[in-house]
Structure 1
Amino acid sequence: MGLFSRRKHPAANDAPTDRSARDATIAHLKEFILTRVGVEAYVEPRTNSTPTTVMLVATDGEWTRRRVPDGEAAAQIAREMNIPIYDVQRTGYPQRVRDYNSRQRLARKKSGGH
């Protein structure tokens, strides 16, 4: 396929649509919640270039992000798992995420990674 192919790749920016992809996303989010301390959810709105996502953040700043169909789907997962959920447009990201990312960059630099 050429660099400027007209062929579209809808799966690249769309929320998972088939049952197995949804189940895998939910399983990943639940596993993260169950294996980390103090997890909170942050809903990131859909933009022109990215779908709606939910970012889970643990107490130490470790995070994971997954596509979700919409904010209500993220809220449902948060309710089921009994964790707080925030709209990132209103609250912003917690400082611990930036601190965690900085620690990860330093660790990669020290180990010779890029």
Structure 2
Amino acid sequence: MAWFRRRSAPGVRHDKEAEKAGFAHLEHFVQTRRGVEAFLEPKTTVTETTVVLIAHDGEWTRRRVPDHGAARAFGNRMGIPVYDVALVGYPQRMRDFNERRKRGHS
């Protein structure tokens, strides 16, 4: 009897429809905000590779992406910079935005 089972084999791509929906959401965010930058988050034992988009005012959104290459290609296509969050960290404006939301002043 197996106690733990993997949902999918390593390296298997996620549902294509979910992937399309994720990129559509990211594209809409870029098109409806200004000053958007992308921050790549590495795959961990708990989460898949993700990208966080952060607008000029600190508003942000996060979605799973297949890999760093796909995120960088998205950034190139949308004309936005893409940073590795492990190297540069998150911008202060994101923390400020989260603090404003916490206080109810979004």
TM-score scaled by structure 2? 0.86
Q: Distance in 2 between matches of 1:66 and 1:9?
A: 22
| TM-aligned CA deviation for residue 20 of structure 1 | 1.3
Aligned to 2:29: 32
Percent identity reads 50
Contact 1:43/1:87 (8 A) holds in 2: yes
Q: How many residues align?
A: 101
Alignment equivalent of 1:71, drawn from 68, 72, 80: 68
> Matched residues in 2 for 1:36 and 1:8: separation?
41
User: Could you tell me whether the CA contact under 8 Å between 1:41 and 1:54 is conserved in 2?
Assistant: yes
Q: CA deviation at 1:18?
A: 2.2
Paired with 2:55 and 2:44, the residues of 1 have a C-alpha distance of 25
Moved over 2 A (4+): 6-11
- Structure 1: any 5+ residue segments left out of the alignment? 1-5, 109-114
Which string of whole-angstrom CA distances, capped at 9 and with x for unpartnered residues, describes residues 12-57 of structure 1? xx99722211110110000000000100000000111111100000
Structure 1 equivalent of residue 16 of structure 2? 19
> Unaligned stretches of 5+ in structure 2?
none
Matches of 1:15 and 1:97, distance apart in 2: 32
What displacement does 1:7 show? 6.4
1:56 corresponds, among 50, 53, 56, to: 53
Match of 1:87 in 2: 84
What's 1:47 paired with?
44
Aligned to 2:102: 105
C-alpha contact 1:55 1:63 (8 A) present in aligned 2: yes
Shift, 1:69, TM fit: 1.1
In structure 1, what is the Cα distance between the partners aligned to 2:52 and 2:97? 14
